[in-house]
A and B are shown apart, each in its own frame.
Chain A
Amino acid sequence: MIWQFVVNGLITGILYSLLAIGFALVYNTTRIFHIAAAGIYVFAAYMFWFFVAKAGLPIIFASLVAIALTMLLSLLSETCVYRPLKNKNASLNVAMIASIGAMTVIINTIAMCFGNETKVVESAILQPLAFGDIIVTTPQKYQALVGAAVLALFMFTLQRTNWGLRLRALSADETLFETLGYDTKATRVLVFLVSGAFIAIASCLTVYDVGLDPNMGMSVLISAIVAMIIGGVGKFSTCILGGLTLGVLQSLTVYHFASNWQNAVTFLVLLILLFLRPQGIAGYKQRTV
């Protein structure tokens, strides 16, 4: 019985990892606490739902369209909100407050267009897979396969390609990056596009299983941020470690207590971890003073 929960947790963990990478792409390179990601996540979910349930596209096309549109919205948040603020030398906290504003605008625009009630993408119940005692539903199967594939591709790109190197360099030191003649502005555009894609993939995979409503963004995003922190801030691979850890942890909370205590346990763990090991499980210690 417990293994069922571990498997569920790992699959949820993959989804957290995807969203955590979407957030970390922006956070590590720009240091902006990108709360608008919650709005972008909801936007992706509604686009996916719209093209599946309203426009009747096949799921694979609908998700591709949703991902493309979400990438554009993510880029829009950079060009309309963050870049103007950066040009004015606004502090990162100011950018975060503006990001909260952007999140509010996106979520409420969606709620105004599509209503506040919960929606489902596809109601058909498909035959689940069974491995002994452990049951994996069809949406979970896709979540695990697609999610793992995307994560693997990302890690490969990050480690082996020029683009990945550039990304890691930008997150290490922006001033040096610029001094060495690289275009921060262009790299940031790319970062926001890729971040949008990750947020959209996480969103589509999640709502395919559990449905969607306009207010779901913030709590998922916070879990993803927690995943990023418990993995260790500053790198990307740690998001996966953190995401899987958090997913299993939450799932075991459901197993031992009840699902409604999930958030409280998540944060207790986070707070304990922050106090004992602020650099995360796998992060390196940074000098603060």
Chain B
Amino acid sequence: MEYVFHIIIMLNIYIMLVLSANLTIGMANLLTMCQAAFYGIGAYIGTYFLMQFSLPFLVIAGLVMLFTGLFSCLVSFASVRLKGDYFVIATMGFQLIVYTVLYNWTDVTRGPYGIPGIPGIKLGGMYELSGVYEYLFMSLALVGVVVFLFHHLVVSPFGRTLNAIRADELTVKAMGRNTVLFKSIAFFLSAAVAGLAGVIYASYVSYIDPTSFTLDESIFIISALFIGGIGNTKGPILGALFVVLLPELLRFVGLPDSIAANLRQIIYGLALILVMYYRPQGIWGKAILK
């Protein structure tokens, strides 16, 4: 049973990541390839706060989201100057720089050795969460809030403006909307929630190293997003379900571990190609990538 709960916790983390990617990629058509960088920044900043200060969770979550969000300004800045493929390669560059810094700045991050013994999250009364059950409930509650808020963003006037920007940015500007501001806010919120997922991951697993926050991880997140679907809330959730549950399904079938890891990647890749061909909006999505 504990194993099932572990899967659900990881699923919750990925739901947050994929939803956060949907805000920029799905809503505003800004193809960012650096979601794992924000995930990693959140994890490392969160680890720092968890290990240095004995603060209640909401304070730490707030700080992590704020600082991770601030890093998104770099990407917003790039999105003003760079369009199309240049923007994609710039976000890949940002992802690789973050990874290189996490890996090589050993004085702070311990580099490839990783940081072990990260303390658990403390709720209001200094009660430290530990064990699968408590993280399960905490992550479920948190995902509930994130899903609610992101769904609200999708259907709210804010989501409407982002959708309009994806259709035709110049017209939206001529309608009196500061499109740069709207995009920057989208980047900020997206990064902040990815950072939140990072701190949950760090405290739950209690060990982090840079290999969890690679370009491959970013590609994995957007694969999940595009398989599930973009532009609404249920598509990204379905995508997260697909990529987290498929390995368990393969395990259930009884494939040896040596093949299973590669095989599931092959399935993700094939799914991505087929979805792009037959249903470019994703299995359950609403918008099509422009």
Whether A112 contacts B262 by the Cβ 8 Å rule is: yes
Whether A108 contacts B97 by the Cβ 8 Å rule is: no
Whether B266 contacts A260 by the Cβ 8 Å rule is: no
Q: Does B85 contact A (CB under 8 A)?
A: yes
Contact with B along A235-267 (1 / 0, CB 8 A): 000000000000000000000001011011001
Q: Does B263 contact A (CB under 8 A)?
A: yes
The distance in angstroms between the C-alpha atoms of A105 and B265, with both chains bound, is 7
Question: Which of A100, A222, A288 is the one whose CB lies under 8 Å from B96?
Answer: A222
Residues on B with C-beta less than 8 A from A274 are 78, 81-82, 86, 90
Interface size on B, residues (CB 8 A): 43
Listed by A's residue number, 7 A-B pairs whose Cβ atoms lie within 8 Å are A93-B290, A98-B273, A101-B268, A104-B219, A104-B265, A112-B259, A112-B266
Give the contacts of B249-290 with A (CB-CB under 8 A). 259, 262-263, 265-266, 268-273, 276-277, 280, 288-290
The distance in angstroms between the C-alpha atoms of A218 and B215, with both chains bound, is 9
Give the contacts of B76-132 with A (CB-CB under 8 A). 78, 81-83, 85-86, 88-90, 92-94, 96-97, 99-101, 103-104
The distance in angstroms between the C-alpha atoms of A96 and B81, with both chains bound, is 21
Whether B100 contacts A260 by the Cβ 8 Å rule is: yes
Whether A275 contacts B266 by the Cβ 8 Å rule is: no
Q: Which residue of chain A has the shortest Cβ distance to B259 in the bound complex? A: A112
- Chain B nearest CB, measured from A266 CB (Å): 8
Whether B276 contacts A261 by the Cβ 8 Å rule is: no
Q: Does A145 contact B (CB under 8 A)?
A: no
Contact with B along A107-151 (1 / 0, CB 8 A): 111011000000000000000000000000000000000000000
Residues on B with C-beta less than 8 A from A81 are 273
Give the contacts of B32-53 with A (CB-CB under 8 A). none
Q: Does B31 contact A (CB under 8 A)?
A: yes
Whether B100 contacts A101 by the Cβ 8 Å rule is: no
Q: Does B223 contact A (CB under 8 A)?
A: yes
Q: Does A5 contact B (CB under 8 A)?
A: no
The 8 A-B pairs of least Cβ separation, nearest first, read A101-B272, A104-B269, A267-B93, A105-B269, A112-B262, A108-B265, A98-B276, A101-B273
- Chain B nearest CB, measured from A138 CB (Å): 31
The distance in angstroms between the C-alpha atoms of A101 and B226, with both chains bound, is 10
Give the contacts of A261-289 with B (CB-CB under 8 A). 261, 263-264, 267-268, 270-271, 274-275, 278, 288
Q: Does A102 contact B (CB under 8 A)?
A: yes
Whether B86 contacts A278 by the Cβ 8 Å rule is: yes
- Chain B nearest CB, measured from A268 CB (Å): 7
Question: Which of A104, A111, A268, A288 is the one whose CB lies under 8 Å from B97?
Answer: A268
The distance in angstroms between the C-alpha atoms of A107 and B83, with both chains bound, is 29
- Chain B nearest CB, measured from A222 CB (Å): 6
Residues on B with C-beta less than 8 A from A225 are 89
- Chain B nearest CB, measured from A287 CB (Å): 13
Question: Which of A101, A258, A261, A271 is the one whose CB lies under 8 Å from B90?
Answer: A271
Question: Which of A33, A94, A102, A264 is the one whose CB lies under 8 Å from B288?
Answer: A94
Residues on B with C-beta less than 8 A from A33 are 85, 88
Residues on B with C-beta less than 8 A from A88 are 277
- Chain A nearest CB, measured from B104 CB (Å): 5
Question: Which of B96, B266, B268, B290 is the one whose CB lies under 8 Å from A267?
Answer: B96
Contacts A97-B289, A98-B277; A104 near B100 (Cβ below 8 A): no
